[in-house]
Protein backbone atom coordinates (compact mmCIF):
# COMPACT_ATOMS: atom_id res chain seq x y z
CA UNK A 1 0.00 0.00 0.00
CA UNK A 2 1.39 3.38 -1.01
CA UNK A 3 1.79 6.40 1.22
CA UNK A 4 -1.22 8.60 0.45
CA UNK A 5 1.13 11.59 0.55
CA UNK A 6 2.73 10.26 -2.65
CA UNK A 7 -0.64 10.20 -4.40
CA UNK A 8 -1.37 13.74 -3.19
CA UNK A 9 1.97 15.16 -4.30
CA UNK A 10 2.79 13.05 -7.37
CA UNK A 11 -0.30 11.35 -8.81
CA UNK A 12 1.27 11.23 -12.28
CA UNK A 13 4.11 9.04 -10.99
CA UNK A 14 1.55 6.64 -9.54
CA UNK A 15 -0.38 6.60 -12.82
CA UNK A 16 2.77 6.03 -14.86
CA UNK A 17 3.63 3.07 -12.64
CA UNK A 18 0.14 1.62 -13.23
CA UNK A 19 0.71 1.95 -16.98
CA UNK A 20 4.08 0.17 -16.70
CA UNK A 21 2.22 -2.74 -15.11
CA UNK A 22 -0.38 -2.71 -17.92
CA UNK A 23 -3.24 -2.18 -15.49
CA UNK A 24 -4.82 0.86 -17.12
CA UNK A 25 -8.21 -0.04 -15.64
CA UNK A 26 -6.78 1.07 -12.28
CA UNK A 27 -5.89 4.60 -13.41
CA UNK A 28 -9.29 5.86 -12.31
CA UNK A 29 -8.52 4.74 -8.75
CA UNK A 30 -5.89 7.46 -8.37
CA UNK A 31 -8.39 10.21 -9.20
CA UNK A 32 -10.99 8.60 -6.95
CA UNK A 33 -8.54 8.52 -4.05
CA UNK A 34 -7.64 12.18 -4.62
CA UNK A 35 -11.31 13.16 -4.70
CA UNK A 36 -12.17 11.16 -1.58
CA UNK A 37 -9.08 12.42 0.24
CA UNK A 38 -9.94 16.05 -0.57
CA UNK A 39 -13.49 15.54 0.71
CA UNK A 40 -12.17 13.79 3.83
CA UNK A 41 -9.74 16.59 4.64
CA UNK A 42 -12.41 19.23 3.99
CA UNK A 43 -14.71 17.38 6.38
CA UNK A 44 -11.95 17.27 9.00
CA UNK A 45 -11.46 21.01 8.60
CA UNK A 46 -15.19 21.66 8.96
CA UNK A 47 -15.23 19.39 11.99
CA UNK A 48 -12.46 21.40 13.66
CA UNK A 49 -14.48 24.60 13.05
CA UNK A 50 -17.60 23.05 14.54
CA UNK A 51 -15.77 21.80 17.62
CA UNK A 52 -14.25 25.22 18.21
CA UNK A 53 -17.70 26.77 17.83
CA UNK A 54 -19.20 24.19 20.21
CA UNK A 55 -16.54 24.94 22.82
CA UNK A 56 -17.21 28.68 22.56
CA UNK A 57 -20.97 28.17 22.86
CA UNK A 58 -20.50 25.86 25.84
CA UNK A 59 -18.64 28.62 27.64
CA UNK A 60 -21.46 30.99 26.73
CA UNK A 61 -23.98 28.58 28.27
CA UNK A 62 -21.98 28.53 31.48
CA UNK A 63 -22.02 32.35 31.60
CA UNK A 64 -25.75 32.53 30.99
CA UNK A 65 -26.45 29.99 33.71
CA UNK A 66 -24.38 31.99 36.18
CA UNK A 67 -26.46 35.04 35.28
CA UNK A 68 -29.65 33.08 35.86
CA UNK A 69 -30.66 33.34 32.20
CA UNK A 70 -31.92 29.77 31.94
CA UNK A 71 -34.27 30.32 29.01
CA UNK A 72 -31.51 31.86 26.90
CA UNK A 73 -29.13 29.09 27.98
CA UNK A 74 -31.63 26.47 26.82
CA UNK A 75 -31.89 28.11 23.39
CA UNK A 76 -28.09 28.08 23.06
CA UNK A 77 -28.01 24.43 24.13
CA UNK A 78 -30.12 23.64 21.09
CA UNK A 79 -27.32 25.06 18.93
CA UNK A 80 -24.85 22.73 20.69
CA UNK A 81 -27.17 19.78 20.07
CA UNK A 82 -27.43 20.71 16.38
CA UNK A 83 -23.63 20.91 16.14
CA UNK A 84 -23.33 17.54 17.87
CA UNK A 85 -25.74 15.99 15.35
CA UNK A 86 -23.79 17.47 12.43
CA UNK A 87 -20.49 16.24 13.88
CA UNK A 88 -21.88 12.75 14.37
CA UNK A 89 -23.03 12.64 10.75
CA UNK A 90 -19.69 13.98 9.54
CA UNK A 91 -17.79 11.37 11.57
CA UNK A 92 -19.97 8.65 10.07
CA UNK A 93 -19.20 9.91 6.55
CA UNK A 94 -15.51 10.20 7.38
CA UNK A 95 -15.46 6.55 8.43
CA UNK A 96 -17.08 5.63 5.13
CA UNK A 97 -14.59 7.75 3.18
CA UNK A 98 -11.67 6.25 5.10
CA UNK A 99 -12.85 2.76 4.18
CA UNK A 100 -13.41 3.74 0.54
CA UNK A 101 -9.94 5.27 0.35
CA UNK A 102 -8.36 2.14 1.89
CA UNK A 103 -10.22 -0.17 -0.51
CA UNK A 104 -8.72 1.71 -3.45
CA UNK A 105 -5.28 2.07 -1.91
CA UNK A 106 -5.08 -1.68 -1.38
CA UNK A 107 -5.37 -2.37 -5.12
CA UNK A 108 -3.17 0.44 -6.43
CA UNK A 109 0.13 -1.34 -7.21
CA UNK A 110 3.36 -0.59 -5.41
CA UNK A 111 5.96 1.54 -7.21
CA UNK A 112 8.31 -0.85 -9.01
CA UNK A 113 12.07 -0.38 -8.94
CA UNK A 114 13.44 1.55 -11.91
CA UNK A 115 15.61 -1.46 -12.84
CA UNK A 116 12.57 -3.72 -13.49
CA UNK A 117 12.20 -4.58 -17.21
CA UNK A 118 8.92 -3.44 -18.75
CA UNK A 119 6.77 -6.21 -20.17
CA UNK A 120 3.17 -7.42 -20.24
CA UNK A 121 3.50 -10.94 -18.81
CA UNK A 122 5.91 -13.75 -17.91
CA UNK A 123 6.77 -14.31 -21.58
CA UNK A 124 8.74 -11.05 -21.36
CA UNK A 125 10.74 -11.92 -18.24
CA UNK A 126 14.49 -11.47 -18.71
CA UNK A 127 17.22 -14.04 -18.10
CA UNK A 128 19.92 -12.63 -15.82
CA UNK A 129 22.54 -15.35 -15.35
CA UNK A 130 23.13 -19.11 -15.67
CA UNK A 131 24.91 -21.28 -13.13
CA UNK A 132 26.16 -24.73 -14.13
CA UNK A 133 26.14 -26.35 -17.54
CA UNK A 134 22.70 -27.61 -18.65
CA UNK A 135 23.15 -31.11 -20.02
CA UNK A 136 20.96 -33.57 -21.89
CA UNK A 137 22.21 -37.15 -21.40
CA UNK A 138 22.41 -39.63 -24.26
CA UNK A 139 19.89 -41.86 -22.49
CA UNK A 140 16.18 -41.30 -21.93
CA UNK A 141 15.08 -39.29 -18.88
CA UNK A 142 11.59 -40.55 -17.96
CA UNK A 143 8.75 -38.38 -16.63
CA UNK A 144 9.37 -37.59 -12.96
CA UNK A 145 6.50 -39.70 -11.61
CA UNK A 146 7.77 -42.66 -13.67
CA UNK A 147 11.15 -42.30 -11.95
CA UNK A 148 9.44 -42.14 -8.56
CA UNK A 149 7.24 -45.14 -9.32
CA UNK A 150 10.31 -47.18 -10.26
CA UNK A 151 11.45 -46.73 -6.65
CA UNK A 152 7.90 -47.38 -5.33
CA UNK A 153 8.08 -43.81 -4.10
CA UNK A 154 4.74 -42.27 -5.08
CA UNK A 155 1.09 -43.30 -4.98
CA UNK A 156 -1.17 -40.91 -6.88
CA UNK A 157 -4.10 -43.32 -7.28
CA UNK A 158 -4.64 -43.68 -3.53
CA UNK A 159 -4.32 -39.92 -3.09
CA UNK A 160 -7.00 -39.34 -5.74
CA UNK A 161 -9.31 -41.67 -3.84
CA UNK A 162 -8.73 -39.94 -0.49
CA UNK A 163 -8.33 -36.33 -1.61
CA UNK A 164 -8.70 -35.85 -5.38
CA UNK A 165 -6.25 -34.51 -7.97
CA UNK A 166 -3.39 -32.37 -6.76
CA UNK A 167 -2.43 -34.64 -3.86
CA UNK A 168 0.03 -37.52 -3.47
CA UNK A 169 1.50 -40.12 -1.15
CA UNK A 170 5.31 -40.13 -1.11
CA UNK A 171 6.75 -43.46 0.00
CA UNK A 172 10.02 -45.10 0.98
CA UNK A 173 13.28 -43.61 -0.24
CA UNK A 174 11.52 -40.90 -2.25
CA UNK A 175 9.70 -39.71 0.88
CA UNK A 176 12.97 -39.91 2.77
CA UNK A 177 14.73 -37.93 0.04
CA UNK A 178 11.96 -35.31 0.24
CA UNK A 179 12.57 -34.89 3.99
CA UNK A 180 16.34 -34.97 3.53
CA UNK A 181 16.20 -32.03 1.12
CA UNK A 182 14.14 -30.00 3.60
CA UNK A 183 16.49 -30.84 6.47
CA UNK A 184 19.54 -29.95 4.40
CA UNK A 185 17.90 -26.66 3.34
CA UNK A 186 17.12 -25.84 6.96
CA UNK A 187 20.70 -26.43 8.08
CA UNK A 188 22.06 -24.61 5.01
CA UNK A 189 20.14 -21.46 5.99
CA UNK A 190 21.03 -21.76 9.68
CA UNK A 191 24.64 -21.86 8.48
CA UNK A 192 24.01 -18.53 6.76
CA UNK A 193 23.04 -17.01 10.13
CA UNK A 194 19.25 -17.32 9.80
CA UNK A 195 17.09 -18.29 12.78
CA UNK A 196 15.02 -21.43 12.25
CA UNK A 197 11.28 -21.14 12.89
CA UNK A 198 8.18 -23.32 12.58
CA UNK A 199 5.27 -20.86 12.28
CA UNK A 200 1.47 -21.17 12.58
CA UNK A 201 -0.03 -22.82 9.52
CA UNK A 202 -3.24 -20.75 9.75
CA UNK A 203 -3.51 -16.95 9.88
CA UNK A 204 -6.27 -14.40 10.36
CA UNK A 205 -7.74 -12.31 7.56
CA UNK A 206 -6.01 -9.08 8.64
CA UNK A 207 -2.65 -10.82 8.19
CA UNK A 208 -3.70 -12.26 4.81
CA UNK A 209 -4.65 -8.82 3.48
CA UNK A 210 -1.45 -7.46 5.01
CA UNK A 211 0.88 -9.73 3.06
CA UNK A 212 -0.77 -10.16 -0.33
CA UNK A 213 -3.11 -8.63 -2.90
CA UNK A 214 -6.80 -9.50 -3.16
CA UNK A 215 -6.22 -11.25 -6.50
CA UNK A 216 -3.55 -13.51 -5.00
CA UNK A 217 -5.72 -14.19 -1.97
CA UNK A 218 -8.70 -15.23 -4.10
CA UNK A 219 -6.64 -17.54 -6.30
CA UNK A 220 -4.53 -19.10 -3.54
CA UNK A 221 -6.01 -19.21 -0.06
CA UNK A 222 -8.25 -21.84 1.52
CA UNK A 223 -10.57 -20.37 4.17
CA UNK A 224 -11.54 -22.28 7.30
CA UNK A 225 -15.34 -22.32 7.29
CA UNK A 226 -16.95 -20.48 10.21
CA UNK A 227 -13.66 -19.02 11.50
CA UNK A 228 -11.50 -16.02 10.73
CA UNK A 229 -8.64 -18.27 9.67
CA UNK A 230 -6.94 -19.16 6.38
CA UNK A 231 -4.51 -21.98 5.58
CA UNK A 232 -1.18 -20.48 4.56
CA UNK A 233 -0.05 -20.71 0.94
CA UNK A 234 3.55 -20.14 2.07
CA UNK A 235 5.17 -19.62 5.45
CA UNK A 236 6.19 -16.11 4.37
CA UNK A 237 2.61 -15.09 5.24
CA UNK A 238 2.78 -16.03 8.90
CA UNK A 239 6.47 -15.13 9.19
CA UNK A 240 5.92 -11.52 8.08
CA UNK A 241 2.70 -11.49 10.10
CA UNK A 242 4.79 -12.30 13.19
CA UNK A 243 5.83 -8.63 13.26
CA UNK A 244 2.35 -7.10 12.97
CA UNK A 245 2.00 -3.88 15.01
CA UNK A 246 5.61 -4.10 16.23
CA UNK A 247 8.05 -1.21 16.54
CA UNK A 248 11.52 -2.71 16.08
CA UNK A 249 14.65 -1.00 17.41
CA UNK A 250 17.20 -0.30 14.69
CA UNK A 251 19.83 -2.36 16.47
CA UNK A 252 17.53 -5.41 16.28
CA UNK A 253 17.69 -5.36 12.48
CA UNK A 254 17.91 -7.15 10.20
CA UNK A 255 15.55 -9.91 11.28
CA UNK A 256 16.61 -12.96 9.25
CA UNK A 257 14.42 -16.05 9.63
CA UNK A 258 14.12 -19.36 7.80
CA UNK A 259 10.93 -21.33 8.25
CA UNK A 260 9.48 -24.74 7.47
CA UNK A 261 5.79 -25.25 6.73
CA UNK A 262 3.29 -27.21 4.70
CA UNK A 263 1.65 -24.99 2.09
CA UNK A 264 -1.92 -25.16 0.80
CA UNK A 265 -3.02 -23.60 -2.49
CA UNK A 266 -6.16 -23.60 -4.58
CA UNK A 267 -4.08 -23.17 -7.74
CA UNK A 268 -6.94 -21.41 -9.52
CA UNK A 269 -6.03 -20.36 -13.06
CA UNK A 270 -5.07 -21.51 -16.51
CA UNK A 271 -2.37 -23.97 -15.45
CA UNK A 272 -4.73 -26.41 -13.79
CA UNK A 273 -3.73 -29.49 -11.83
CA UNK A 274 -1.80 -32.32 -13.48
CA UNK A 275 -3.26 -35.82 -13.34
CA UNK A 276 0.12 -37.55 -12.98
CA UNK A 277 2.68 -34.94 -12.01
CA UNK A 278 3.62 -33.19 -8.80
CA UNK A 279 4.62 -29.88 -10.37
CA UNK A 280 1.45 -27.97 -9.50
CA UNK A 281 -0.40 -29.32 -6.49
CA UNK A 282 -2.73 -28.32 -3.66
CA UNK A 283 -0.41 -29.32 -0.82
CA UNK A 284 3.37 -29.31 -0.50
CA UNK A 285 6.14 -28.49 1.97
CA UNK A 286 8.67 -25.71 1.76
CA UNK A 287 11.66 -24.10 3.43
CA UNK A 288 11.36 -20.31 3.18
CA UNK A 289 13.51 -17.32 4.12
CA UNK A 290 12.36 -13.83 5.09
CA UNK A 291 14.14 -10.62 6.00
CA UNK A 292 12.84 -7.51 7.78
CA UNK A 293 15.35 -4.72 7.42
CA UNK A 294 16.01 -1.00 7.08
CA UNK A 295 14.99 0.44 3.68
CA UNK A 296 18.56 1.25 2.66
CA UNK A 297 19.58 -2.40 3.11
CA UNK A 298 16.78 -4.13 1.21
CA UNK A 299 18.35 -4.30 -2.25
CA UNK A 300 21.57 -5.76 -0.85
CA UNK A 301 19.51 -8.43 0.94
CA UNK A 302 17.52 -9.07 -2.23
CA UNK A 303 20.68 -10.11 -4.08
CA UNK A 304 21.89 -12.23 -1.15
CA UNK A 305 18.62 -14.10 -0.84
CA UNK A 306 18.26 -15.38 -4.38
CA UNK A 307 21.95 -16.26 -4.52
CA UNK A 308 21.47 -18.49 -1.45
CA UNK A 309 18.97 -20.52 -3.49
CA UNK A 310 21.37 -20.69 -6.42
CA UNK A 311 24.13 -21.94 -4.09
CA UNK A 312 21.85 -24.58 -2.56
CA UNK A 313 20.82 -26.02 -5.93
CA UNK A 314 24.34 -26.01 -7.30
CA UNK A 315 25.51 -27.96 -4.24
CA UNK A 316 23.21 -30.74 -5.45
CA UNK A 317 24.54 -30.67 -9.04
CA UNK A 318 21.47 -28.96 -10.47
CA UNK A 319 22.06 -26.27 -13.14
CA UNK A 320 19.95 -23.16 -12.58
CA UNK A 321 19.34 -19.73 -14.01
CA UNK A 322 17.94 -16.50 -12.62
CA UNK A 323 15.09 -14.78 -14.40
CA UNK A 324 13.98 -11.23 -13.63
CA UNK A 325 10.22 -10.72 -13.58
CA UNK A 326 9.02 -7.94 -15.86
CA UNK A 327 6.61 -5.24 -14.71
CA UNK A 328 3.47 -7.02 -15.89
CA UNK A 329 4.43 -10.25 -14.10
CA UNK A 330 5.03 -8.58 -10.72
CA UNK A 331 2.35 -9.01 -8.06
CA UNK A 332 0.99 -5.64 -6.94
CA UNK A 333 2.92 -5.46 -3.66
CA UNK A 334 6.32 -6.26 -5.19
CA UNK A 335 9.04 -3.76 -5.98
CA UNK A 336 11.31 -6.28 -7.71
CA UNK A 337 11.35 -10.07 -8.13
CA UNK A 338 13.71 -12.73 -9.46
CA UNK A 339 12.79 -16.36 -10.10
CA UNK A 340 15.28 -19.19 -9.78
CA UNK A 341 14.70 -21.84 -12.43
CA UNK A 342 16.19 -25.34 -12.53
CA UNK A 343 17.23 -27.21 -15.65
CA UNK A 344 15.02 -30.08 -16.81
CA UNK A 345 17.01 -32.57 -18.96
CA UNK A 346 13.77 -34.29 -19.98
CA UNK A 347 12.04 -31.11 -21.18
CA UNK A 348 15.30 -29.48 -22.30
CA UNK A 349 14.31 -26.22 -20.65
CA UNK A 350 14.32 -24.46 -17.28
CA UNK A 351 11.35 -24.36 -14.90
CA UNK A 352 10.65 -22.31 -11.77
CA UNK A 353 11.73 -23.73 -8.41
CA UNK A 354 11.80 -20.56 -6.32
CA UNK A 355 10.98 -16.87 -6.28
CA UNK A 356 12.70 -14.00 -4.47
CA UNK A 357 10.81 -10.75 -3.87
CA UNK A 358 11.52 -7.31 -2.44
CA UNK A 359 8.23 -5.77 -1.30
CA UNK A 360 9.64 -2.45 -0.10
CA UNK A 361 7.46 -1.09 2.69
CA UNK A 362 4.16 -2.37 1.22
CA UNK A 363 3.61 -5.20 3.70
CA UNK A 364 5.01 -3.11 6.55
CA UNK A 365 2.45 -0.34 5.86
CA UNK A 366 -0.43 -2.82 5.81
CA UNK A 367 0.74 -4.61 8.95
CA UNK A 368 2.12 -1.51 10.71
CA UNK A 369 5.66 -2.90 11.07
CA UNK A 370 7.82 0.06 12.05
CA UNK A 371 11.39 0.80 13.01
CA UNK A 372 12.22 3.06 15.95
CA UNK A 373 14.67 5.58 14.56
CA UNK A 374 16.54 8.44 16.19
CA UNK A 375 14.34 10.99 14.42
CA UNK A 376 11.07 9.09 14.66
CA UNK A 377 9.49 5.82 13.56
CA UNK A 378 9.50 4.66 9.93
CA UNK A 379 8.32 1.60 8.01
CA UNK A 380 10.55 -1.46 7.56
CA UNK A 381 11.22 -3.22 4.28
CA UNK A 382 10.34 -6.91 3.89
CA UNK A 383 11.73 -9.58 1.58
CA UNK A 384 11.04 -13.26 1.03
CA UNK A 385 12.56 -16.08 -0.97
CA UNK A 386 12.08 -19.80 -1.47
CA UNK A 387 14.95 -21.88 -0.14
CA UNK A 388 13.53 -25.09 -1.55
CA UNK A 389 10.04 -26.44 -2.25
CA UNK A 390 9.82 -30.20 -2.69
CA UNK A 391 8.27 -32.10 -4.32
CA UNK A 392 8.86 -29.66 -7.23
CA UNK A 393 12.50 -29.74 -6.21
CA UNK A 394 12.38 -33.54 -6.53
CA UNK A 395 11.63 -33.18 -10.25
CA UNK A 396 14.84 -31.23 -10.81
CA UNK A 397 16.81 -33.45 -8.45
CA UNK A 398 15.73 -36.77 -9.96
CA UNK A 399 16.14 -35.67 -13.58
CA UNK A 400 19.59 -34.16 -13.05
CA UNK A 401 20.95 -36.98 -10.87
CA UNK A 402 19.48 -39.89 -12.84
CA UNK A 403 22.21 -42.22 -14.16
CA UNK A 404 22.25 -44.38 -17.27
CA UNK A 405 21.51 -47.58 -15.32
CA UNK A 406 18.37 -46.05 -13.76
CA UNK A 407 19.93 -45.38 -10.37
CA UNK A 408 19.88 -41.87 -8.88
CA UNK A 409 23.05 -40.34 -7.51
CA UNK A 410 22.78 -38.72 -4.09
CA UNK A 411 25.08 -35.67 -3.88
CA UNK A 412 27.45 -35.53 -0.94
CA UNK A 413 25.55 -32.82 1.07
CA UNK A 414 22.45 -35.07 1.28
CA UNK A 415 24.13 -38.33 2.21
CA UNK A 416 24.21 -37.63 5.94
CA UNK A 417 20.40 -37.10 5.82
CA UNK A 418 19.96 -40.37 3.89
CA UNK A 419 21.77 -42.70 6.25
CA UNK A 420 24.96 -42.57 4.22
CA UNK A 421 23.39 -43.77 0.95
CA UNK A 422 25.26 -42.68 -2.17
CA UNK A 423 22.52 -43.59 -4.63
CA UNK A 424 18.96 -44.81 -4.96
CA UNK A 425 18.68 -48.18 -6.71
Average pLDDT, the chain: 91
Model confidence over 36-63: pLDDT tens digits?
999 999 988 888 877 777 777 666 666 6
CB-based burial label for 39 (10 Å; 0-12, 13-18, 19+) = middle
DSSP output for 157-221: HHHHHHT-TT--EE-HHHHHHHHHHHHHHHHHHHHTTPEEE---SEE-HHHHHHHS-HHHHHHHP
Model confidence over 172-182: pLDDT tens digits?
999 999 999 99
Domains parsed from the chain with CATH numbers: 4-105 (1.10.287.40), 122-424 (3.30.930.10)
Residue 54 pLDDT: 72
Name the nearest CA neighbour of 258 among 205, 312, 188.
Answer: 188
Model confidence over 112-135: pLDDT tens digits?
999 999 999 999 999 999 999 999
DSSP state of 138: S
Going by pLDDT thresholds of 50, 70 and 90, the confidence category of residue 357 is: very high
Residue 48 pLDDT: 80
Q: How far apart are CA 124 and CA 36, in angstroms?
A: 36
**pLDDT at residue 81 is higher than 90:** no
Model confidence over 268-285: pLDDT tens digits?
553 445 556 788 889 999
Model confidence over 125-164: pLDDT tens digits?
999 999 999 999 999 999 999 999 999 999 999 999 999 9
Residue 270 pLDDT: 38
Burial 308-346 (b: 16+ CB within 10 A, else e): bbbebbeebebbbbbbbbbbbbbbbbbbbbbbbbbbbbb
Name the nearest CA neighbour of 411 among 398, 36, 310.
Answer: 398
Residue 82 pLDDT: 76
Q: How far apart are CA 30 and CA 386, in angstroms?
A: 33
Residue 66 pLDDT: 62
Average pLDDT over residues 392-415: 95
Model confidence over 298-325: pLDDT tens digits?
999 999 999 999 999 999 999 999 999 9
How many percent of the chain have pLDDT more than 70?
A: 93
**pLDDT at residue 377 is higher than 70:** yes
**pLDDT at residue 74 is higher than 70:** no
Beta bridge partners of 155: 169
- Kindly state the greatest CA–CA separation across the chain: 108
Amino acid sequence: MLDIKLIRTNPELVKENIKKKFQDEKLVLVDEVLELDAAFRASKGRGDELRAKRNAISKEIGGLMKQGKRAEAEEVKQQVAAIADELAEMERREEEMTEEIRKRMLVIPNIIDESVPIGKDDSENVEVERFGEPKVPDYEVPYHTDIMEKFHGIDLDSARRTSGNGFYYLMGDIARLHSAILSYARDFMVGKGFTYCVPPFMIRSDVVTGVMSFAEMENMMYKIEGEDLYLIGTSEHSMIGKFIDEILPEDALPQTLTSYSPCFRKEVGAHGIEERGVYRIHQFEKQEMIVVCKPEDSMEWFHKLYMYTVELFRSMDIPVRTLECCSGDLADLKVKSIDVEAWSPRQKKYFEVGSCSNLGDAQARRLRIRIKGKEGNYFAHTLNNTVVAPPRMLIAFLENNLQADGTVKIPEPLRAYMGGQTELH
